[in-house]
Amino acid sequence: MTGHSTIVGGSTVDRLLCCPGSFQLIQSIPAVVDTPSEYAAYGSCMHAVMERLAGLFSNGFPPDETKMIQAARELEGETVCDRKITDAHLNESIFPAIDNLYDLMDSYGGGFRTVANELRVRFPGVPGAFGTADLVIASKKHAILVDWKFGQGVPVKAVYRDEHGERVNPQLLFYFAGALHTVPELFKDKRFVVAIIQPRTAETLTHTTISRKDIDYFIEDVDAAIVAALQRDPELHDGEHCRWCPALPVCPKHTGPLFELTDDGVKMPERQDNTNDAAYGEFLAKAKYLADIAAGYKKQIDEQIHNYLTAGGTVPGWRLKLKPKLRQWVNEKQAAKELDALGFREDEIWQHKLQTFAVAEKAAKRLGVKIPDYLRAATETDETVIAPENDPAPLLEPPQAREEFIAALKQLRAN
């Protein structure tokens, strides 16, 4: 059997398209297997739950989500992927994912059924290029590929607007191209849709239509990127695609600006009067750029050191230690009883806290009710933060910003 392709996969296709040189750079460093994280384990569990639930509806989804939510409730207390399903799992991830799935189906006319669940797909023309499509649902008119994301840190969208313009998520196109190649009968006479459902972020559902021509162009782009990646000295390009690149710590596009600091890097301009404010602004812009690079660089280096040590490597001056874990009560009722006997006050034993508005809003959507507007405070702010020039927020003119700062400072001194 042909092994997995090392040059391209669903999670790496964006990086290859944007930076063909990344492939050879990654090959030049020791291969280290990533240590599974708690976040990955959580995501795997939630994926498995949604796989089970979606598998119940191969003959068609009911008109509303009641039956699917009830099926999810029945999983509470069960162990899935070595993890016991709790009420928190259901409320934070599973129920919102079901809501989003129904919103998605409603957007395209309803009448869907599950036609493929955790589908193993082969990308055309590249030996060993496999992937797994989380869910494919179909109606008489549409075929939708759904990708579940259960992380809450980095939002993932079906359509991006970045330095390359507006484009469909390459991972979705990779899986769709693979599915179209592997089981073409599922997509016959259908309109194509790809979607991301990520219930633990602000924008929980994103989706877009694509065409067969889009898929054909994408396959051509991947083929061209592979050819470029295998040439001598392929080009390196930095950007958002660098976030998870294992070669980032040795990439000249990232190390160059940092290492220049040891030579003739960013220098503070002399400020003897107000005539060189522009020079100081230039300095701040460069310093901010380097600070942002350094923050991401540190994180990548720490992860690489951890993975390398875990795999048995040696890094002078560093070693592994057990990660401190959050201490928990074995039995809450017993703990409360014994703490009470020790003289603890009630407020030192129990805490009562209202759920956040975001959590309540998701529950309201699931219940089909609306939270009264008067319960939510519409607070105004006179605080400002820095933002890049292309930020879509309304422009705040410098004089206005200074006035607001002075007013806030006066108010602070008055207090």
CA-nearest of 314, 306, 266 to 286 is 266
95 & 113 share domain: yes
169 & 119 share domain: yes
188 & 53 share domain: yes
Give domain status of residue 4, yes or no: no
Domain count, the chain: 4
Please identify, among 256, 275, 310, the residue that sits at the C-terminal boundary of a domain.
Answer: 310
301 & 407 share domain: no
81 & 165 share domain: yes
* Positions of the chain with pLDDT lower than 50, given as ranges: 1-4, 262, 271-275, 401-402, 405
344 & 394 share domain: no
Instruction: Give the angle subtended at the CA of 204 by the CAs of 199 and 210, to the nearest 5°.
Output: 125
Give domain status of residue 125, yes or no: yes
Q: Report the pLDDT value the prediction gives residue 121, as an integer from 0 to 100.
A: 94
Q: What single letter denotes the amino acid at residue 241?
A: H
Q: Report the pLDDT value the prediction gives residue 382, as an integer from 0 to 100.
A: 60
Give domain status of residue 240, yes or no: no
219 & 342 share domain: no
Strand partners, 131: 121
Q: Report the pLDDT value the prediction gives residue 314, as an integer from 0 to 100.
A: 87
**Alpha carbon distance 374, 42 (integer Å):** 36
Q: Are strands 142-148 and 205-210 parallel, antiparallel or unpaired?
A: unpaired
Q: Report the pLDDT value the prediction gives residue 170, as an integer from 0 to 100.
A: 95
Give domain status of residue 234, yes or no: no
Which one-letter DSSP state was computed for residue 248?
G
Q: What range does the domain containing 363 cover? A: 332-375
CATH (domain of 65): 3.90.320
Give domain status of residue 325, yes or no: no
Q: Report the pLDDT value the prediction gives residue 268, as an integer from 0 to 100.
A: 52
Give domain status of residue 322, yes or no: no
413 & 289 share domain: no
Q: Report the pLDDT value the prediction gives residue 401, as an integer from 0 to 100.
A: 47
Which one-letter DSSP state was computed for residue 145?
E
Give domain status of residue 63, yes or no: yes
195 & 258 share domain: no
Phi, psi for residue 237 in degrees, rounded to 5: -140, 135
Give domain status of residue 8, yes or no: no
163 & 142 share domain: yes
339 & 396 share domain: no
361 & 402 share domain: no
Q: Report the pLDDT value the prediction gives residue 2, as an integer from 0 to 100.
A: 40
User: Would you call 397 helix, strand, or coil by DSSP?
Assistant: coil
